[in-house]
Amino acid sequence: MRFGLFGGTFNPVHLGHLRAALEVREGFELEEILLIPAALPPHKLPGEVVDAGDRLHMLNLALEDTAGLSVSEVELKRSGPSYTIDTINHFKGVLPEKSTIYLIMGLDAFLEIDSWKSYQALLLQVPIIVINRPQSDRRLSKLGWELMDDYLKSSLSGGYKFSELQSCYLAADKQPIHIFEVTALDISSTRIRSLVKKGRSIGYLVPRKIAEFITSRGLYL
């Protein structure tokens, strides 16, 4: 069985997140993708992210009628900062034996992976799916995936070489790093928060129930 882990602050979750998850699930024929909200992201400052309970509730609203996508509270139940390596180790212990676990992230996040806790262990333990997210489009349109290629050589090294046949980077002693382009929806959580603060509509950027929840809770004002 093949599972995907898609972590993030989801502050708030939006249609770009959801569409990307659906396309990755179909493209890699995954049994399920688990969306995992971070409790205390180590790269975020206190006050930048709304209460974890609100972010969890918005994810549950977004996925309530979506087969193959679900929410995991594992990082919300863990004390302290949310480290991906701890989450990987958790799921290796609870998913069915011989399952393949894919770690899903945007290019912007991958280009900082060398600053993550135990990132070398991540590269050894799980294949990674790097998706083209909207905020990266400008750079990708100029450089294609050369930016990622340069990063692998300059910051990660490890002998990665790109396989055209498999559309991924391979190294003898590490898991594959796949590249996967998704529909370019120019939506970001930062933009949504800015619109809410200005009193403008966020319709068609987030599911209707999430827009209503944000209004009812007075979030991002």
Q: Among candidates 108, 103, 101, which has minimal Cα distance to 128?
A: 103
- Give the Cα separation of 35 and 54 in Å (integer): 15
Using CB atoms within 10 A of its CB, is residue 22 exposed (0-12), middle (13-18) or buried (19+)?
middle
Q: Confidence band (pLDDT; 50, 70, 90) for 24?
A: very high
- pLDDT tens readout for residues 100-119: 999 999 988 999 999 999 99
Q: Tokens standing for 11?
A: 């502050």
**Which amino acid, one-letter code, is at 17?**
H
pTM for the model stands at 0.91
CB 18 within 8 A of CB 62: yes
Domains in the chain: ranges and CATH: 2-216 (3.40.50.620)
Our CA dihedral for 68, 6, 144, 157, rounded to 10 degrees, sits at -130
Three-state DSSP class for residue 109? helix
CB 214 within 8 A of CB 12: yes
Angle at 189 between CA 134 and CA 56, to 5 degrees: 125
Task: Report the pLDDT averaged over residues 79-83.
Answer: 82
Q: Tokens standing for 211?
A: 């827009």
- pLDDT tens readout for residues 39-64: 866 566 555 789 999 999 999 999 99
